[in-house]
Amino acid sequence: MRRMNALDALRLWTVVVADTGDFNDIAAYRPQDATTNPTLILKAVQKPAYAPLLAQVQAAHGAAPLDERVDRLLVRFGCEILDRVPGRVSTEVDARLSFDTEATVARARRLAALYRAEGVDTERRVLIKIAATWEGIEAARTLEREGIHTNLTLLFAFCQAVACADAGVRLISPFVGRIYDWYKKAAGASWVEAEHAGAYDPGVQSVRRIWNYFRHHGIATEVMGASFRNTGQILALAGCELLTISPELLAQLAASDAPVERALDPQAARAMELPEVHYREAEFRFALNEDAMATEKLAEGIRAFCVDARKLDALLGAGG
């Protein structure tokens, strides 16, 4: 009998999600869901294997506005991914709309409509990714009421998570690795890796705080840890509903026979003393401003996604 590897052991408590736009890499690791973002799609679409997808979109929709062609390309990738996973795909709204609620809602509605036109059951199989700004969270509130489910991304602060829960967001993606990066850079030469590994990793601690709060208060919003730098961060969150993992780290887990223990326990979370909190807009903005790490990483993340969105525009514009 084959010994269970670390990836299989992780699946006992956590839904494994592939963090990639490269759908040819997905099948080997049997993830339930898959997530994409502008950076991942940009990397994938520049590979020769995916050039036909770009060409097909240009041939069929070359006369359409550029933003529509981009959305059609994203949905084309999403449909290919859905052919390879049994669950959901997350497709991201243009990050340049992160501070525009109405425009985010309109773009999300169009993405959902494009999926439906391809025969996809969007209520069960699609999550629309939106940056967890105040405006993005308010857009998600509207979309969730319409049955368009959302995945709030670029989430670094507790206040973002609480506001998402209050808005009825289906899923949030707190970023473990980017939090870790910030604290490591801030510490400089005084950083001792061994003292900040596993459960002591600041990114892991952030997700655990959110997860414990959600489970303690019976909040339905799913938590999906994201942006991992190493397998230790992943295993320290075993028991989280979902974890979205790059193909490289999926391969490392599949090659490892290290024991995996459940790190997050809903019964323990329910027994904690965690007061309920809520944030109005002014309180949310102040709490986010007080968190230097979250403020900087949110802004940095939006800027980086905007850069790649412009590059994707250029690729599609060149063929239009």
Calculate mean pLDDT across residues 21-36.
88
Query: pLDDT per residue over 252-309, tens digit each?
Result: 999 999 899 999 999 999 999 999 999 999 999 999 999 999 999 999 999 999 999 9
Phi and psi torsions of 200, nearest 5°: -95, 0
Task: Please tell me the predicted confidence (pLDDT) of residue 37.
Answer: 86
Q: How confident is the model at residue 24 (pLDDT cuts 50, 70, 90)?
A: confident
Instruction: Tell which residue, 269, 270, 171, 267, has the closest CA to residue 225.
Output: 171
Task: Please tell me the predicted confidence (pLDDT) of residue 23.
Answer: 84
Helix 101-117 crosses helix 134-145 at what angle (to 10 degrees)? 40
Task: Please tell me the predicted confidence (pLDDT) of residue 167.
Answer: 98
Burial 197-220 (b: 16+ CB within 10 A, else e): eeeebbbbbbbbebbbbbbbeebe
Helix 51-61 crosses helix 292-318 at what angle (to 10 degrees)? 70
Task: Please tell me the predicted confidence (pLDDT) of residue 2.
Answer: 60
Calculate mean pLDDT across residues 182-195.
97
Task: Please tell me the predicted confidence (pLDDT) of residue 38.
Answer: 81
As given in the structure block, the two tokens for residue 78 are 């999403």
Mean of pLDDT over the chain: 95
Q: How many other CB atoms are there within 10 angstroms of residue 118's CB atom?
A: 13
Calculate mean pLDDT across residues 171-190.
98
Query: pLDDT per residue over 208-238, tens digit each?
Result: 999 999 999 999 999 999 999 999 999 999 9
The residues annotated as belonging to the active site are 129
Task: Please tell me the predicted confidence (pLDDT) of residue 320.
Answer: 44
Instruction: Tell which residue, 182, 208, 184, has the closest CA to residue 195.
Output: 184
Write down the architecture of domain 6-318 according to CATH.
Alpha-Beta Barrel (3.20)
Q: How confident is the model at residue 3 (pLDDT cuts 50, 70, 90)?
A: confident
Query: pLDDT per residue over 103-159, tens digit each?
Result: 999 999 999 999 999 999 999 999 999 999 999 999 999 999 999 999 999 999 999
3-state secondary structure the chain: CCCCCHHHHHCCCCEEEEECCCHHHCHHHCCCEEECCHHHHHHHHCCHHHHHHHHHHHHHHCCCCHHHHHHHHHHHHHHHHHCCCCCCEEEECCHHHCCCHHHHHHHHHHHHHHHHHCCCCHHHHEEEEEECCHHHHHHHHHHHHCCCCEEEEEECCHHHHHHHHHCCCCEEEEEHHHHHHHHHHHHHHHCCHHHHCHHHCHHHHHHHHHHHHHHHCCCCCEEEEECCCCHHHHHCCECECEEEECHHHHHHHHCCCCCCCCCCCHHHHHCCCCCCCCCCHHHHHHHHHHCHHHHHHHHHHHHHHHHHHHHHHHHHHHCC
Long-range contacts of 286-290 (CB under 8 A, 24+ apart): 287/157, 287/158, 287/159, 288/157, 288/159, 288/160
Task: Please tell me the predicted confidence (pLDDT) of residue 318.
Answer: 64
Task: Please tell me the predicted confidence (pLDDT) of residue 39.
Answer: 87
Report in angstroms the alpha-carbon separations of 140 from 144, 214, 251. Answer: 6, 18, 33
Report whether pLDDT(1) > 60.
no
pTM of the full predicted structure?
0.95
